[in-house]
Amino acid sequence: MIADLRIRFAVDDEVLSRLHADAFGGDHVLSPWTARLKRHSRSWVGAFVGDRLVGFVHAVWDGGRHAFLLDTVVDPDFQHQRI
């Protein structure tokens, strides 16, 4: 299985919130991902199998020289598959 990586894809807050809830456990809470990414992220990448979002990560930065990855997540059904 090969995932299609999409950079700065159009984020669906519901879909990304569900992915995080499924991967990390706990209750599903709708988060304002689109606004958060536009405000804080340098870029983001989604891993897709067909139209299904199965992985996500974003890079935030300090406005200078430093950036780091946050919210790295892979759908439990697709973990351990090199996504």
The structure's pTM equals 0.90
Contacts of residue 11, Cβ cutoff 8 Å, sequence gap at least 6? 33, 34, 37, 44, 46
- Range 1-18 average pLDDT: 95
pLDDT bucket at 63, cuts 50 / 70 / 90: confident
Helix H or strand E encompassing 19: helix 13-24
Residues 74, 34: contact at Cβ < 8 Å?
no
